[in-house]
Structure 1
Amino acid sequence: MENDPIFDNTEIAFALKSDSELERAYYLFKMISIEPLVKIGAVATNLAIKAHLPIEGLIRSTVFDHFCGGVNETDCLPVIDRMYEKGVSSVLDFSVEGKANDKEFDAAMNTTLKIMDFAKEKEAMPIAVFKPTGFGRLKLFEKVGKGAALTQKEQEEWQRVVNRYDTVCKRGKENDIAVLIDAEETWMQDASDALVTQMMEKYNTEKPIVFNTLQMYRKDRLDFMKEEHKRAKEKGYYIGYKLVRGAYLEKENERAKDKGYESPMCTSKEATDINFNLAVAYMLDHIEDMSLFSGSHNEQSSYIMMRLMAEKGLKNNDERIWFGQLYGMSDHISFNLAHRGYNVAKYIPFGPVRDVMPYLIRRAEENTSVAGQTGRELALITKEKKRRNLK
């Protein structure tokens, strides 16, 4: 499988991009490849937003339109429909961050429910997603995870978090839409994990509807998955997992150092890759009990997953197995997989331009820090420009 380099096909990868969109992508990744420029740009953009300078038009026409589907669900429809023509599904991700009160948590839940009702009528949107700290305070998750005593007020607040999870997962079951629940920092994750397990037990009785997310740069996640699998078999429900490598490495290592505990992170990129691929293999070995959503921009992991599926006689479009990438990145993986009949979904962030900026800045910073990511994007875009005879 790895000997058939399907991800090198740029004609399929960029079929949806016009010449001008391809040029924009080229210059965008060119800028992102210069780390000092990204740092300066992030600071300048934050200052401009705080000063209410009129920069939204510029952001919208460059970085926002490349990495986001639109400012609201309806705005995303053209992107969703165009991608689905090429066999790529969409996961609308309301990417507004940093909110911290019940009014905003309820608004995030209601937006998720609205997306799920919107998705019920659209075959192109079989999956919904939410972020735990979109539904409750990080500090509260942390306190619950530690088993610390909660005040009466905090108990009531936590019950509201539980109710938000339950409301969305219930709607997922009613609408037959998978619900992916993101993972965040380790110090808040235990409480979310326990809550997701509760939701799986309640709603994954016939098939996986509720999915937890496992960040495989954590040394303990493979063992955690095996324990959860054992529990699910004993209690008679299915499990679903989105596997990712992880998004908080520097933050996690710094906190471990500051507080004097051993970092829960793998000590190298190679160890993380091994962990990720072992988790994929384990899930495919037990696919009768679970569903896998592989959230990866790594070509090698994708090839390994394709090979394992073939060896096990699993169909490319087996409904229990999904590949996923972020919108605006790794089109060479997404569209070439879809072209071969695999289930593929793109995460499409959306939201008001100003509110989505923290997400966009993190995307740019991650691209500069992931070795080879930006270089690979640039090389493929350059190859396609040559194929189209663009200068």
Structure 2
Amino acid sequence: MRDLFEDTATAFALKTDSELERAYFLFKLIGNEPLVRIGTAVTNFAIKANLPVERLIRATVFDHFCGGTNEEECLVVADRMFEKGVYTILDYSVEGQQVENQLDYTFEKTLKTLDFVKEKDAIPFAVFKPTGFGRFKLYQKITEGEQLTFLEEEEWQRVVNRFDKVCKKAHDLDVSLLIDAEESYMQDAADKLVEMMMRKYNKKKAIVFNTLQTYRWDRLDYLKKLHEDAKREHFHIGMKVVRGAYMEKENDRAEEHGYPSPICPSKKATDENFNQVVTYMLDNLDLMSLFAGTHNENSSYLLMEQMQAKSIAKNDPRVWFGQLYGMSDHISYNLSDRGYNVAKYLPFGPVKDVMPYLIRRAEENTSVAGQTSRELTLLKKERKRRRI
């Protein structure tokens, strides 16, 4: 089993030769940290200055990591992936909105996405970020226990209403809904709100999923406490389990403000924490559903081996693997080929508005040791195989 992810013919079966070459070119660029820093600065400047760079972005990094500018364009990509047994999660990836009309627009897009999901077998989940529905500073103020003003109380109630309407629609349509996690210093407020939705809409099964970032050392304890609540109050827990996306920012802020870092002290400790959380959830599937969002091969193998040891069917609807579109195809397509439930996050939105997401993808690939080199090694292997 441990050589499963070496099968590049299965991994890249959907990629044309030109798409394979583009992927190789992009990951070569992303592997160069100084170039990523320069490229990020230049791209940000070009967009703010309204320079005509969208066509270039669209033809390269955007089309590799995103499904399109709207839902209709994404359906073409989703149908292609579904031919190989890989499902799609439509992710409206516009970030950092701060004003009410923008938050309402994201909310309406999420409702619309739920309708798409219900109509397409290839799209079993919808997703949104807490800061798509409310201001970051508002979550932060609540997390830090500060008193809200009267206007902020009203603003928070609008956030609660957005969460509730989307979760209710997901429940009524019987569509699973993933809610992403963000920085720790705003996350408690989001956690409490998602827990409220779980208690309300997860009575029979997991519809609403929160996200656990396991580079935080406290997340297993958090899950165990929530499990006790679920047993006592009779609701189901849905969790997307990931390593995390804000490590440098978290450590820098903790040092600046003089509090202990919420982040595990090492990559090894993070890996162990991820695996412990996944194991705990597999041991408690009577009340839990797991979406394992990972690009880590060892964790993927561990999950497969534990499912086999615990006699959990490969296609058990309570266990999913997930990766980002444009990354780790060797994991996604080889898992689906073996009969596991696999879904790709497929970001979409206007090119200019999705750039913060794309820049974060490039920076994360640069900072994660081995990620880019592994992608390149596999792409090289497939290029060579096709030339024989």
**TM value normalised by structure 1:** 0.98
Alignment pair present for 1:72 and 2:70: yes
- Residue by residue over 1:187-240, the C-alpha shift from the partner in whole angstroms, topping out at 9 and shown as x without a partner, is 100000000000000000110000000000001000000000000110001000
Distance (whole Å) between structure 1 residues aligned to residue 273 and residue 143 of structure 2: 24
Shift of residue 148, structure 1, vs aligned partner: 2.0
Task: Indicate the residue corresponding to 1:179 in structure 2.
Answer: 177
Please give the residue correspondences for 1:339-378 in structure 2 after superposition, counting only pairs within 5 Å. 339-378=337-376
Q: Output the CA distance in 1 between the equivalents of 2:253 and 2:144.
A: 16
Q: State how 1:333-344 maps to structure 2 within 5 Å.
A: 333-344=331-342
Residue 90 of structure 2 aligns with an amino acid whose one-letter code is L
Q: Which amino acid counterpart does residue 222 of structure 1 have in structure 2?
A: L
Match 1:291 to one of 289, 292, 296: 289
Q: Report the equivalent of 1:258.
A: 256
| Residues 94-113 of structure 1 aligned to structure 2 (within 5 Å) | 94-113=92-111
* Equivalent in 134, 137, 147 of residue 149 of structure 1: 147
Distance (whole Å) between structure 2 residues aligned to residue 324 and residue 332 of structure 1: 12
- Matched AA of 1:182: D
Give, in angstroms, the shift of residue 147 of structure 1. Answer: 2.7
State how 1:130-209 maps to structure 2 within 5 Å. 130-209=128-207
Separation (CA, whole Å) in 1 of partners of 2:14 and 2:100: 40
- Taking every aligned residue pair, what percent have the same amino acid on both sides? 64
Q: What is aligned with 2:208?
A: 210
Structure 2 CA distance, aligned partners of 1:389 and 1:202? 56
* Distance in 2 of aligned mates of 1:369 and 1:264: 19
Q: Give, in whole Å, the separation in 2 of the partners of 1:193 and 1:48.
A: 37
| Residue 5 of structure 2 is aligned to residue 12 of structure 1 | no
Q: For the residues of structure 2 that align with 1:140 and 1:362, how far apart are their CA atoms?
A: 23
Structure 1 letter corresponding to 2:38: I
Residue 48, structure 1, aligned to residue 46, structure 2: yes
Amino acid at match of 1:172: A
Task: Measure how far apart 1:382 and its partner are.
Answer: 0.4
For residues 374 and 219 of structure 1, what CA distance do their matches in structure 2 show? 26
Cα deviation code 1:286-332 (max 9, x no counterpart): 01111000000000000000000000001000000000000000000
**Offset at residue 87 of structure 1 (A):** 0.4
Counterpart of 2:385 in structure 1 is 387
Could you tell me how far apart the structure 2 residues matched to 1:146 and 1:55 are? Answer: 41
The code of the aligned residue for 2:156 comes to: W
Q: 1:20 & 1:192 partners in 2: Cα distance?
A: 42
Structure 1 segment 251-330 matched on structure 2, within 5 A: 251-330=249-328
Query: What amino acid maps onto 1:191 in structure 2?
Result: A
Which runs of structure 2 are paired with 1:215-254 in the superposition (5 Å)? 215-254=213-252
Could you list the structure 1 runs, at least 4 aligned residues long, displaced by more than 3 angstroms after superposition: none
The amino acid of 1:381's aligned partner reads L
Output the CA distance in 2 between the equivalents of 1:70 and 1:348.
9
In 2, Cα distance between the equivalents of 1:234 and 1:317?
29
Tell me how far apart the structure 2 counterparts of residues 214 and 143 of structure 1 sit (CA, whole Å). 21
Distance of 1:314 and 1:193 partners within structure 2:
29
2:86 equivalent in structure 1: 88
Shift of 1:343: 0.3
Runs of at least 5 residues in structure 2 that lack an aligned partner in the other structure: none
Q: How far, CA to CA, are the matches of 1:259 and 1:35 in structure 2?
A: 28
Corresponding residue SS for 1:364: helix
Q: Kindly state the Cα deviation for residue 146 of structure 1 after the two structures are TM-superposed.
A: 2.5
Q: Which amino acid aligns with 1:192?
A: A
Return the letter of the residue paired with 1:238.
H
The code of the aligned residue for 1:237 comes to F
Determine the C-alpha separation between the residues in 1 that align with 2:135 and 2:117: 27
Q: Which amino acid aligns with 2:379?
A: I
Partner Cα distance (1:155, 1:56) in 2: 39
TM-score between the two structures when normalised by the length of structure 2: 0.99
AA aligned opposite 1:159: Q
| Deviation, structure 1 residue 56 | 0.7
Q: What is the rounded CA distance, in whole Å, between the counterparts of 1:150 and 1:260 in structure 2? A: 25
Task: Quote the Cα distance in structure 1 between the aligned partners of 2:111 and 2:135.
Answer: 20
Superposed displacement of residue 136, structure 1: 0.4
SS at match of 1:294: strand
Q: SS of the residue aligned with 2:238?
A: strand
Give the Cα–Cα distance (whole angstroms) in 1 for the partners of residues 116 and 213 of structure 2: 29
What SS is found at the alignment partner of 2:387? coil
In the TM superposition, what whole-angstrom CA distance separates every residue of 1:76-110 from its partner, at most 9, and x where no partner exists? Answer: 11100000010000001111111101111110010
- Tell me the alpha carbon deviations over residues 37-86 of structure 1, each in whole angstroms, 9 at most, x when there is no partner: 11000000001101111111110000000000000000111100000010
Q: Distance in 2 between matches of 1:263 and 1:84?
A: 41
Residue identity opposite 1:343 in structure 2: N
**How far, CA to CA, are the matches of 1:369 and 1:142 in structure 2?**
26
